Chains A and B, each alone.
Chain A
Amino acid sequence: MRTGSSFLTRTELVYFAILAAVIFVVFPASMDIFRLNLFGKYLTYAFVAVGLVLCWGYGGILSLGQGVFFGLGGYCMAMFLKLEASTPEATAIQSTPGIPDFMDWNQLTALPTWWEPFHSFPFTLIAVIAVPVFFAFVIGLAMFKRRVGGVYFAIITQAIAAILTILIIGQQGYTGGVNGITDLRTLLGWDIRTDSAKYILYFVNGGLLMLCLLAAQFVRRSKLGRILVAMRDQEDRVRFSGYDVANFKIFVFCLGAAMAAVGGAMFTLQVGFMSPSFVGIVPSIEMVIFCAVGGRLSILGAVYGTLLVNWAKTTFSEMFPELWLFAMGALFIGVVLAFPNGLAGLYNSYVAPYVKRLISARGAGRRMAPAE
């Protein structure tokens, strides 16, 4: 493995360019707006998967609560959009005009104080990132400083995902309950439900994803990335070398949370609603499997893995709804038992050698993802 002197090797640059071409040229050219919007939705999950590659693949921290951060980011954005959609004129038929419809249905007569700041767009943009990161920071601080890791961390993050779901569903009047926050219309007066808006949002989403990938690549190639790998493999030795292991873990966990939050906000914008079914345990574990299928050590693999699993999910559950859960279960077991490095691992061991032979020997740099 070359040291972190160069940010992208030539081969990696090619891989990044291929992914960018797929997202920005192939998909928009080959799909109608409905399918494209669907793939845009899948790509929002890819944000979470890329964050998980950093946390889990590199840092060895398996979080089963990434749905929490995805959901918090999405809810922050949804609250802003909902307030914009609930003008006194638009909600004149309610007994209290000017508050979101689900609050009116639950006999609330005034907007709760903590909803007030979400009238402001700049505040919302900050909150989309800041709220989930703050959550992640508190969780990380409490857990990693006490050297809780591995299995226990997974179980506790899972419990947190369960708690947040119960809370959101239970507090209907403040959160929209099990239906979530629905019927979102405009962003700063711009209708997000039109086809042209969907195109624009798709490209914004793709651009943000590329930014996240570059950030992840930067972390991978930096000294931080190597400390993460060292921590994953021999935590005590890193600690004895004088590094504060907990701080690195907290940082990478927060970074993963921030990426998930951006994904959540883009999800709300593209799909037009946010509900607790994207927060709980089941979606959180599914997000882990996206990452595992792509290859837990490959940030680009995570994107392909997400696309593949979601595409398969949609196709399968349209054609054979019965079989989908069997296939998904088999996927979990198969990925863990047979292909622990996922698609990227398969690519590296079977496809990459041919590709290398095809291209001249000069272009063959290091592989897409280092094997373990």
Chain B
Amino acid sequence: MFDGYTLSELGSILAMQGFAGLILFSVFVLMALGLAIIFGQMGVINMAHGEFMILGAYVTYLCSHIFQNYLPGLFSIYFFVAMALAFCASGALGMLCEWALIRHLYKRPLDTLLATWGLSLILQQAYRTIFGAREVGVSLPDWMMGSVPLTDLIEIPINGLFVMALTLIITAAVGAMMYRSGWGKQVRAVMQNRVMAGAVGINTERTDRLTFGIGCGVAGIAGAAFTMIGSTGPTAGQLYIVDTFLVVVFGGAASLLGTIASAFSISQAQSAMEFFLSGSMAKVLTLLTVVGILMLRPQGLFTLKVRK
């Protein structure tokens, strides 16, 4: 299969494939970060996570329309406004859901799974009713179009670079929040020992609600970033939910570093194999490997040692 390629062509194909893997990696990380907070820290199985993400994508879509029609002068920076709004919208919806639904089910994790699946069905149909069944895309400002030629053969799309930079910033922000801020300390305390955390004066209910809200908000940002590289439909969230859960579980549920490492290995494996095999076989093989490894090492790649 390598006939007819020169060495430099092969090298650039590998580089392009690696870059495609990096973009996939960014998307995985953005999606998995929110889930790592909600599932990894709180232990809530949120099957509606994909729908929170899609909410962010739709908010971005609305923003791009509003800026295009009413504020064309500011169109080049609309994306940053959209991102903030996406965070707020998904976060607010998340907190509402936590209050109405999730908080009654903390002791029954398997039931949360069913309830949030129901929530995801309702959200999907709501999107379909409001935005229509067809996929929508946003128009990018000029500075995000095009690509940077690195060599004659390798070109790097700017929106891909932008998504990667965004991923870095958000990961750093989430990491700082979890491990450097007082809120993060409270979250980790509540998750490790709820009763004791309550006894030392942490408002556990408020912490839960805020944690769930922030997890969903990060999903909203992921959705906003997602519009940069793909179109959005009502059921797009469901396509990614299994991958996202596998990324979080494979990384070790309570470890942010593990989530990043597993997102990296899964995305690189998948995009590298896509070069040799068909897309569906690459995906099957990647997922099978992950499931296989999880059967051998159920606790995931990185684990936090906690006494139960």
Which A residues form the contact surface with B (CB < 8 A)?
A: 62, 64, 142-143, 146-148, 150-152, 154-156, 158-160, 162-163, 166-167, 169-170, 281-282, 285, 288-289, 292, 322, 325-326, 328-333, 335-337, 340
Contacts and interface: CB of A to CB of B under 8 A. Distances in A.
B249 A152 contact: yes
A329 B249 contact: no
B111 A340 contact: yes
B209 interface: no
Contacts of A336: 105, 108, 111-112, 114-115, 118
B295 interface: yes
B307 interface: no
Given A285-B117, A322-B129, A333 B242 contact: no
B114 A335 contact: yes
A163 B294 CA distance: 15
Interface in B80-129: 101, 104-105, 108-115, 117-122, 124-126, 128-129
A44 to B, nearest CB: 22
Contacts of A148: 294-295, 298
A333 B115 contact: yes
Contacts of A288: 114
A162 B104 contact: no
Given A151-B110, A152-B298, A281-B242, A170 B284 contact: yes
Contacts of B177: none
Nearest to A151: B109
Contacts of B117: 285, 332
A65 B239 CA distance: 16
A173 to B, nearest CB: 12
Contacts of B246: 155, 159
Nearest to A157: B291
Nearest to B297: A146
B287 interface: yes
Contacts of B128: 325
A336 B109 CA distance: 11
**B114, B284, B298: which has the most chain A beta carbons within 10 Å?**
B114
Given A322-B129, A325-B121, A337 B242 contact: no
Interface stretch (B162-170, B195-203, B275-283): B275-283
Nearest to B298: A148
Given A146-B295, A169-B280, A281-B242, A333 B118 contact: yes
Contact of B122 (A143, A147, A160, A325): A325
A163 B246 CA distance: 12
B245 interface: yes
B53 to A, nearest CB: 17
Interface of B: 43, 45, 101, 104-105, 108-115, 117-122, 124-126, 128-129, 238, 242, 245-246, 249, 278-281, 283-284, 287-288, 290-291, 294-296, 298
18 contacts: A146-B296, A148-B295, A150-B109, A151-B113, A154-B110, A154-B113, A156-B295, A159-B242, A166-B280, A289-B114, A322-B125, A325-B121, A325-B122, A326-B121, A326-B126, A332-B117, A333-B119, A336-B118
B141 to A, nearest CB: 35
A163 B291 contact: yes
**B121, B245, B294: which has the most chain A beta carbons within 10 Å?**
B121
B291 A156 contact: yes
Contacts of A170: 278-281, 284
Give chain A's interface secondary structure class.
helix
A160 B172 CA distance: 33
Contacts of A322: 125, 129
A166 B124 contact: no
Contact of B101 (A142, A143, A333): A333
Nearest to B124: A325
B281 A329 contact: no
Given A151-B109, A329-B120, A332-B118, 7 more contacts: A151-B113, A152-B249, A154-B45, A159-B287, A170-B279, A326-B121, A326-B125
Contacts of B295: 142-143, 146, 148, 156
A155 B283 CA distance: 17
A293 to B, nearest CB: 11
B101 A329 contact: no
Contacts of A328: 118, 121
A163 B278 CA distance: 14
Contact of A162 (B124, B125, B287): B287
Contact of B118 (A152, A158, A330): A330
Contacts of B101: 333, 337
Nearest to B43: A151
Nearest to A161: B242
A145 to B, nearest CB: 9
A158 B109 CA distance: 16
List the 5 closest A-B pairs by CB distance, nearest first: A332-B118, A170-B280, A329-B122, A329-B121, A325-B125
A75 B294 CA distance: 28
A331 B294 CA distance: 33
A253 to B, nearest CB: 14
A151 B283 contact: no
Contacts of A292: 114
A143 B293 CA distance: 11
A156 B294 contact: yes
Contacts of A150: 109-110
Contacts of B287: 159, 162-163, 166
A71 to B, nearest CB: 15
Contacts of A64: 113
B114 A146 contact: no
A329 B298 contact: no
